[in-house]
Chain A
């Protein structure tokens, strides 16, 4: 039975609590206005970006700048900026939807998301009223372009170790910044840079709003890159760069926190953008498979190709599901905080921070799904896939950066586990109780009697078991390794992989269930197939990650018992995935595009 009551989970709680499908948002529920906004973004891409991809990648002077200006005029830079700063005040998930559509825009997608995300948000969320009034309206209309300067030649993942320094001038009117930043997206043409630097010998970074024409700021040549060649990426130098004291953003030494929180938003937006790239790549591949003939028939008639097309779609569908589930969780948390009296920009940060674990997980899943999809896209194209004249070349090269920026996927995997465990230690999340219960269950005889056989009941039992698998492995790792766990990166990554697969498979099962409740079984049929195949394969992925982790720190009887438990918790009923994938592929072949 469907209820409208929301029982939204808190961040990280997915590991220990069940979710009700009525409480999750699914993309089938986009309203007419959201669809119209997405269509405008799509029309813009079709009219201005896709016909000009070669010119963009050749960095034709002024082209990217003018595209961003036009996107700003259309309103695409202010979707979720509050109306008092010239934006349109839409919720977070709507801005994610625009990020998804724009995500099919190759270099343009990167330029737009850098501007609207890391470029604009530090000022929007941490600026004082005067700073917001001065900068946000211009950034929202696209009159000014923005960039974000955190990374340095010797400071990448270890962001707080940067060498750039700021000193207060003798007259107390300016901070004088010296240092060098690199990989600065939009750096070549930005008007405003959020620059991170330590004041004097501070332990932590501070953040500054630096305008391009402040004295002492200079740029290097454009970097030569593997992909996203049309995206401006430069080094930015600060030689006694004078920044008025009123341009200190937030408080002294608050910069690292700003950087981390802005990256949380960037991560989940990246997941949304990756979905857009995936869908476009799949449509291109399906169309090619339908047109390319070998041995007298189109290659879309062959099972090997159908398997690829279906699997590309299944992973994309699953990633999309989890991404917007988080987007809605963030919106719901935001609404609750604002209703409780919190100031909106604080509430936005707090709501994203609550779901930082999920944001990091989906950054990994989204970018790796995209890389999987473009790789198979090249393969479907065969020899033409390797041609720089055919569309898969750009898709393949441009996708690669997503596993690196906004925190490498390795950093994000470690953060996933680290943040979860910190919450448990702070008492925000009771992981030890459920983990102990699972450990006790290992000793008991499994209960197979009296099982619910209603639709999705078996899949939900599987999800509940996945949770036990994660809790067992993570719980044992904490207990055995104690303080050294933080240094056991391989084990942390195994646990992160388990958590990611659990979260995404739970999301996709809930989506299929909700579609079936809300729109009927016929509407849900193929999407249920996709959910089931994903769940089936996730079981093996969780099993192998768990096994590798357990074998690294257990031995003897305990090891045998845990491996047996892991097998029990990742057991699924036999499923003819070949038949399901055939159905999924066939639908796309008929529609000649990604159609879910």
Chain B
């Protein structure tokens, strides 16, 4: 089975969030980058499991400048066979998705996996856009994925239950928590990563979105503690200060 996994670089969850260029760009200075967890822990690992049981190859693809190669090598260390880097500064979901779709078209991928969202911009758009641009079926938020009789069988957690969806291959699936368990790259994988091929291609897809400005959320105000025996005061404050009742 020939699988393409889309991965993205995101800031480590403990990073300090700040902006530059008149609040139009995320300030990357001193930020530690990681592979987006939904891409790595679920999409990539499930792709590797499918390869291990069904045979085939796992190619990873990312959009970004040379500086993102450490996260590509991390994904290769975990076990992907080879990688493609689209040499472009990712500006919006569309230019990213279109660049990936342009690359993937006609390459014979039977399954394209992406994380359900990135943990920085949380757009949840790229997977669906790739499917749309390639005219393929799309299953979003799959927490379980199997291949059975030439079809993808996915489970999606829904309110109070689970929805089971099947799709013919090829298709695009976005991975949610539960699809697989994170793998730690082992020594052999880390050493092999150096020798695996990273194909670099260019793209001239223009972004459709222009960032006007980012602002940080207002800091949380202090919490007022009310003694449990003093419910009258609570009601009074909810009425007069919080103005919610």
Interface residues of A (CB under 8 A from B): 32-33, 36-37, 40, 43-44, 47, 73-76, 78-79, 88, 592
Contact = CB atoms under 8 A, between A and B. Distances in A.
Contacts of A74: 184, 186-187
Contacts of A37: 187, 190
12 contacts: A32-B73, A36-B190, A37-B187, A40-B184, A40-B186, A40-B187, A43-B184, A47-B184, A73-B186, A74-B187, A78-B187, A79-B187
B188 interface: yes
Nearest to A88: B187
Interface string B207-227: 000000000000000000000
A433 B77 CA distance: 54
B185 interface: yes
Contact of B191 (A44, A47, A73, A88): A88
Interface in B158-210: 182, 184-188, 190-191, 193-194
A75 B187 contact: yes
A529 B170 CA distance: 59
Among A74, A76, A592, chain B packs the most CB atoms within 10 A around the CB of A74
Contact of B185 (A32, A36, A592): A36
B55 interface: no
Q: Which 9 A-B pairs have the closest CB atoms?
A: A75-B187, A43-B184, A74-B186, A75-B186, A88-B187, A40-B184, A36-B190, A40-B185, A44-B184
B27 to A, nearest CB: 15
A43 B191 CA distance: 17
A480 to B, nearest CB: 54
A51 B100 CA distance: 39
A33 B187 CA distance: 10
A75 B73 contact: no
Interface residues of B, number: 15
Nearest to A32: B70
A40 B14 CA distance: 18
A76 B187 contact: yes
Given A32-B73, A33-B191, 10 more contacts: A32-B70, A36-B70, A36-B185, A36-B190, A40-B184, A40-B185, A73-B186, A75-B186, A78-B187, A88-B187
Contacts of B73: 32, 36
A72 B140 CA distance: 37
A78 B14 CA distance: 31
A74 B74 CA distance: 15
A37 B194 CA distance: 13
A79 B191 CA distance: 11
Nearest to B70: A32
Nearest to A593: B14
Among B73, B74, B184, B191, chain A packs the most CB atoms within 10 A around the CB of B184
Contacts of B70: 32, 36
B188 A33 contact: no
A43 B183 CA distance: 9
Among B186, B187, B193, chain A packs the most CB atoms within 10 A around the CB of B187
A76 B186 CA distance: 8
Contacts of A88: 187-188, 191
Interface in B55-85: 70, 73-74, 77
A350 B232 CA distance: 80
A113 B185 CA distance: 21
B198 to A, nearest CB: 13
A286 to B, nearest CB: 13
A592 B188 CA distance: 34
A47 B73 CA distance: 21
A504 B191 CA distance: 33
Contacts of B74: 36
B224 to A, nearest CB: 15
Contacts of B185: 36, 40
A44 B74 CA distance: 15
Contacts of A40: 184-187, 190
A47 B182 CA distance: 10
Nearest to A48: B184
A356 B182 CA distance: 41
Among A37, A44, A592, chain B packs the most CB atoms within 10 A around the CB of A37
A78 B182 CA distance: 23
B190 A33 contact: yes
Contacts of A79: 187
Contact of B194 (A33, A75, A78, A592): A33
B77 A36 contact: yes
B69 to A, nearest CB: 9
Nearest to A140: B187
A47 B191 CA distance: 22
Contacts of A47: 182, 184
A415 B193 CA distance: 44
A83 to B, nearest CB: 9
A73 B74 CA distance: 18
A44 B184 CA distance: 7
A33 B69 CA distance: 12
A66 to B, nearest CB: 15
Nearest to B185: A40
A32 B77 CA distance: 12
Contacts of A78: 187
A527 to B, nearest CB: 15
Contacts of B188: 75, 88
A592 B16 CA distance: 11
Among A40, A43, A88, chain B packs the most CB atoms within 10 A around the CB of A40
A451 B21 CA distance: 46
Nearest to A33: B190
Contacts of A33: 190-191, 194
B88 to A, nearest CB: 22
Contacts of A44: 184
Nearest to B181: A47
A89 to B, nearest CB: 9
Contacts of A32: 70, 73
B128 to A, nearest CB: 31
Nearest to A73: B186
B64 to A, nearest CB: 16
Contacts of A75: 186-188, 190
